[in-house]
Chains A and B, each alone.
Chain A
Amino acid sequence: MVPEYETVIGLEVHVELKTNSKIFCNSTTAFGGEPNTHVCPVCLGLPGVLPVVNRKALEYTIRTALALNCEIAGFSKFDRKNYYYPDMPKNYQISQYDLPFAQKGHLNIELNGNIRRIGITRVHLEEDTGKLVHPATITTSPYSLVDYNRAGVPLMEIVSEPDLRSPEEARAYLEKLKAIISYLDVSDCKMEEGSLRCDANVSVRLQGKEEYGTKTEIKNMNSFKSLQRALAYEVERQIEVLGNGGRVIQETRAWDEGKGITLSMRSKEEAHDYRYFPEPDLVPLVIDRQWVEEIRASLPELPDARKTRYQRDYGLSAYDAARLAAELELAEFFEACVKCYPQPKMVSNWINGELSRLLNLHNININACPLTPPQLGALLELIEKGTISGKIAKTVFEEMFNKGKDPAQIIQEKGLIQISDEDALIKIVNEVITQNQKVVDDYRAGKDRALAFLVGQVMKVTRGKANPELVNRLLKEKMQ
């Protein structure tokens, strides 16, 4: 019998906060810029400089922690994490060790209709590092350059409990976390720009066992898809190692997107001793309860609440409501459309259907497509009024999506107005009946499918513009 393994995953997520200035100085956090232009003596770690905490970064961290149902510390401090790497100007990172700003939170994920609560171990704040730039690959370059523009950008770390039981759950967790953080408006959450990063701790154990298996840490996963792929690979790799009578080694492994495998980076023995100690340049922080309550009171509606509201107020299905609420921009777009055209179910169908399909097809964000809510509203109105058929509407919608034109204009230009004129259609109906006498006989003999064929013939003649309901009625009347 093949043994059954259970997957155990915990995620460490790093989020760059979108404060205007860096965590300990006044340098800008703007993305990009010529190398080493968004810097000052403080974030370059010149001799004698001192850090001063950006209160906004602290506020954003508490805001996030509250949204994740965490307990906020009354007393917290920063610590130094010591290790040598040239992307760190001081060769230590100001981070938090034993007294993070927040602990013991949770968020809920939903997968295949099941809701699971995932624990959040801690939320803390630290400074981001710069980056090394190589003219070739890291092993073949004759030199490295270093850019400190990102050094000192506030970085929030969110560590989950090892509560995730599959790569799909891990992905759902990360997507939910991203949704919450976007709603809070504290980060851009762009994985491709590195403002949202994720490392994973993975292990497997025999089904029913209490103790955890030996874990590996997986790095370098740059999208939701690569997270899921990397974890699926790693889980399978570990099961195979164990199945062959081997042992999983505790180590850090890097995901190779191109090859679709994880590779060993360094073992536990090679792991750093970070020599943490309290940062003496910053005084410990006593976090004012009243301030925390003010932040709590200012929290926006979060994805779960919005989903519930869509079900309750708009009568949407759980599935549709969840899809809309998962992305703030999409949810905002939906609500703007409902304002223009107050039939939420219809709007939801179009957004979760055609719009999502096209967004995925072109791989763009809702904000990047030229279509506006009033335009979608106008389109739905035209369908309702019978000016165009639902089928034609899809063609019109695609044109709207690509060009940002008003639906009326497209219909005009392409002559797509639906024929709802009885007098105009009756002639065509008569012609079709005359030319398809056999099919008409079939219909009269009780073959319902014959009607669909005849409707199709009318549509063919009118190039799809005939009002289908009217055609149906007219055909039936004539054939009685």
Chain B
Amino acid sequence: MELYYYPAHQLHQMLVKKEIKAEEICLSVLNRVSQVEDKIKAFITLTHEQALAQAKKVDEKIARKEKISPLAGIPIAIKDNICTEGLRTTCASHILENFIPPYNATVINLLNQADAVIIGKTNLDEFAMGSSTENSAFFTTANPWDLARVPGGSSGGSAAAVAAGETILALGSDTGGSIRQPAAFCGVLGLKPTYGLVSRFGLVAFASSLDQIGPFARNAEDLAWLLNVISGHDPLDSTSRVEAPPDYTGFLVDHVRGLRIGVPREYMLEGIDVQVKQVINQALAKLTALGATAEEVSLPHSKYALPTYYLIAPAEASSNLARYDGVRYGFRAGNAVDMIDMFKKTRSQGFGEEVKRRIMLGTYALSAGYYDAYYLKALKVRTLIKQDFEKAFSSFDVLVSPVTPTPAFKKGEKTGDPLQMYMSDICTLAINLAGIPGIAIPAGFINGLPVGMQLLGKPFSEGILLQVAHIFEQNTDFHLKKPDLK
């Protein structure tokens, strides 16, 4: 096996034992990128030189017999809505096409402190609004398992890069499924942490009360290592939790005896592909065989998650995206006759269709006369959805469901019908509304396409989710399968 498909924790051992150099890992990944990137198109910006320089620095540390941190020398790809100082951060939007942040997101500072090697910025749906990367203003990323299909979204570039061996690890962001859905479509692991576990400082906001940065990897242990680095309180983010997180690698024990699994009825109803249900049932059978118990549970307000989400997220987005007006930075339309005209032209030309659709939805939901009927009501339903989960977690340790109703769909299949596109996130939206953690792990295949299983836990129970993912992995080989990219 080539280095680019090795697990991060294994590469770390090899570095420590001086069996390989960080430069070799980096070159392996960069070579892989040059071989397959034409087909995958996962990256908006690549950082060859900086990556190699960073890798060499790690080699020098090792040569000086300095202790290196677990992620030192490990290549990682960053979703292009996470600010990187001096490195273009576009959000896959024309309006920020040439925006170079003068500061790093907190997670980038943490990765730099850990000597991780950033190899590039990955494609996404514009401002993370979408489920396929087809809303990127630049290009659509391909699914490594079938190039005619989408990788999912919005963090499609990060998921595809991990699946295709174009990186070892990646960061994405998840507002309604944007990490878990592409992870499932690309057959990798993706974690949406509890709201407040990872700092949002430097993540370009879509919906502030729902956004979380999270890790992608090809195994649970790597996911735990990356989570160890990026989680924790940030004084720059008032919504980040003050309590220090645990060492997540400590949860990677090899049993699930006594684990109580709840299976939400509402996530296994019509709309979910029969074969997907089969995959989930087989996975459940595996877990119960390993000592867990599984029982059906109801989350009665699930059916309101989609409309609730599509009021709250666009409302916040309409305000968050107001700053892109051409005055201070980013794209400014020419030939404006006055200030208002400049605003209108800049935003009309700078934003794509889906972004404009959501800005309009959100503006409407917050407008005088509609606020109570839409936004306020959505906030109330959000509380009910949260209570559903609280109630379920009083009887169960984790909940298990599909990540998506179907495996990856074809490019262009849903672009004409926004509602159909929104439906592909039906199993993931409620998790952001409730603020709880969710992980997507490879659980099987349908016609050569990966199918993901979603594990949900109570707030700040990422450790248990990683434990279940780890045990499932120890007893299956879905996560080891690689797409054929000749």
Q: Are A84 and B315 in contact (CB under 8 A)?
A: no
What separation, in Å, do the CA atoms of A45 and B328 have in the docked complex? 9
Q: How far is the CB of B347 from chain A (nearest CB, A)?
A: 10
The A-contacting residues of B in range 81-127, CB under 8 angstroms, are 81-83, 89, 91, 96, 99, 101-103, 105
Q: Are B339 and A53 in contact (CB under 8 A)?
A: no
Q: Are A84 and B343 in contact (CB under 8 A)?
A: yes
Chain A contact residues: over half helix, strand or loop, or mixed?
loop
Q: Are A47 and B101 in contact (CB under 8 A)?
A: yes
25 contacts between A and B (CB under 8 A): A46-B101, A47-B83, A47-B89, A47-B101, A48-B101, A48-B205, A50-B238, A52-B235, A52-B237, A52-B238, A53-B238, A82-B322, A84-B322, A84-B340, A89-B328, A90-B322, A91-B323, A92-B319, A92-B322, A273-B367, A276-B366, A277-B315, A280-B207, A280-B239, A283-B239
Does A391 sit at the interface, judged by CB under 8 A? no
Given A44-B328, A46-B102, A280 contacting B363 (CB threshold 8 A)? no
What separation, in Å, do the CA atoms of A265 and B382 have in the docked complex? 41
Does A197 sit at the interface, judged by CB under 8 A? no
**Residues of B contacting A91 with CB < 8 Å?**
322-323, 325
Does B457 sit at the interface, judged by CB under 8 A? no
Q: Are B327 and A50 in contact (CB under 8 A)?
A: no
Given A46-B329, A50-B200, A273 contacting B368 (CB threshold 8 A)? yes
Given A273-B368, A277-B319, A281-B238, A49 contacting B202 (CB threshold 8 A)? yes
What separation, in Å, do the CA atoms of A283 and B240 have in the docked complex? 10
The B-contacting residues of A in range 116-171, CB under 8 angstroms, are 144, 146
**Residues of A contacting B200 with CB < 8 Å?**
50
Q: A46-B329, A47-B89, A281-B208 are in contact. List 14 more A-B contacts (CB 8 A).
A: A46-B328, A47-B96, A47-B204, A48-B82, A48-B89, A48-B205, A50-B237, A51-B238, A84-B343, A91-B325, A92-B322, A273-B368, A275-B318, A275-B319
Q: How far is the CB of A220 from chain B (nearest CB, A)?
A: 20
Contact bitstring B184-210, A, C-beta under 8 A = 1, else 0: 000000000000000011111101110
Does A41 sit at the interface, judged by CB under 8 A? yes
**Residues of B contacting A276 with CB < 8 Å?**
366
Among B83, B96, B237, B322: residue with most chain A CB under 10 A = B322
What separation, in Å, do the CA atoms of A63 and B102 have in the docked complex? 37
What separation, in Å, do the CA atoms of A231 and B69 have in the docked complex? 69
Q: Are A86 and B327 in contact (CB under 8 A)?
A: yes
Q: How far is the CB of A61 from chain B (nearest CB, A)?
A: 17
Given A46-B102, A50-B201, A275-B366, A283 contacting B322 (CB threshold 8 A)? no
Contact bitstring A24-53, B, C-beta under 8 A = 1, else 0: 000000000000000001001111111111
Q: How far is the CB of A132 from chain B (nearest CB, A)?
A: 9
**Residues of A contacting B339 with CB < 8 Å?**
86, 144
Task: Spell out A's residues near B (CB within 8 Å).
Answer: 41, 44-53, 80, 82, 84, 86, 89-92, 144, 146, 273, 275-277, 280-283
Given A80-B319, A92-B322, A281-B238, A49 contacting B328 (CB threshold 8 A)? no
Q: Are B105 and A48 in contact (CB under 8 A)?
A: yes
Q: Are A280 and B367 in contact (CB under 8 A)?
A: no
Q: How far is the CB of A131 from chain B (nearest CB, A)?
A: 13
Does B267 sit at the interface, judged by CB under 8 A? no
What separation, in Å, do the CA atoms of A157 and B201 have in the docked complex? 29
Q: How far is the CB of A423 from chain B (nearest CB, A)?
A: 83
The chain A residue with its CB closest to the CB of B96 is: A47
Q: Say which size band chain B's interface belongs to.
A: 35 or more
What separation, in Å, do the CA atoms of A318 and B315 have in the docked complex? 57
Does B316 sit at the interface, judged by CB under 8 A? yes
The A-contacting residues of B in range 301-336, CB under 8 angstroms, are 315-316, 318-319, 322-323, 325, 327-329
Does B274 sit at the interface, judged by CB under 8 A? no
Does B236 sit at the interface, judged by CB under 8 A? yes
Query: Which single member of A41, A51, A84 contacts B102 (CB below 8 Å)?
Result: A41
Q: How far is the CB of A162 from chain B (nearest CB, A)?
A: 23
Q: How far is the CB of A433 from chain B (nearest CB, A)?
A: 86
Task: Spell out B's residues near A (CB within 8 Å).
Answer: 81-83, 89, 91, 96, 99, 101-103, 105, 200-205, 207-209, 235-239, 315-316, 318-319, 322-323, 325, 327-329, 339-340, 343, 363, 366-368, 371, 375
The chain B residue with its CB closest to the CB of A42 is: B236
Q: How far is the CB of B299 from chain A (nearest CB, A)?
A: 24
What separation, in Å, do the CA atoms of A92 and B317 have in the docked complex? 12
Q: How far is the CB of A434 from chain B (nearest CB, A)?
A: 88
Given A47-B99, A49-B201, A273-B368, A82 contacting B328 (CB threshold 8 A)? no
**The 7 A-B residue pairs with the shortest CB-CB distance in the complex, in nearest-first order:** A91-B322, A280-B208, A275-B366, A280-B209, A47-B204, A48-B204, A48-B202
Given A49-B201, A52-B238, A283-B238, A82 contacting B366 (CB threshold 8 A)? yes
What separation, in Å, do the CA atoms of A86 and B322 have in the docked complex? 11
Among B323, B325, B343: residue with most chain A CB under 10 A = B323
**Residues of A contacting B235 with CB < 8 Å?**
52
Q: How far is the CB of A42 from chain B (nearest CB, A)?
A: 8
Q: How far is the CB of B122 from chain A (nearest CB, A)?
A: 16
Q: Are B83 and A275 in contact (CB under 8 A)?
A: no
**Residues of B contacting A277 with CB < 8 Å?**
315-316, 319, 366, 371, 375
What separation, in Å, do the CA atoms of A50 and B236 have in the docked complex? 7
**Residues of A contacting B366 with CB < 8 Å?**
82, 275-277
What separation, in Å, do the CA atoms of A46 and B96 have in the docked complex? 11
**Residues of A contacting B89 with CB < 8 Å?**
47-48
Q: Are B325 and A84 in contact (CB under 8 A)?
A: yes
What separation, in Å, do the CA atoms of A385 and B25 have in the docked complex? 96
Q: How far is the CB of B105 from chain A (nearest CB, A)?
A: 6
**Residues of A contacting B375 with CB < 8 Å?**
277
Q: How far is the CB of A353 from chain B (nearest CB, A)?
A: 54
Among A46, A48, A281: residue with most chain B CB under 10 A = A48
**Residues of B contacting A144 with CB < 8 Å?**
339
What separation, in Å, do the CA atoms of A84 and B315 have in the docked complex? 16
Q: How far is the CB of B204 from chain A (nearest CB, A)?
A: 4
Given A86-B325, A89-B328, A273-B368, A48 contacting B319 (CB threshold 8 A)? no
The chain B residue with its CB closest to the CB of A272 is: B368
What separation, in Å, do the CA atoms of A86 and B340 have in the docked complex? 10
Q: How far is the CB of B360 from chain A (nearest CB, A)?
A: 13
Q: How far is the CB of B180 from chain A (nearest CB, A)?
A: 21
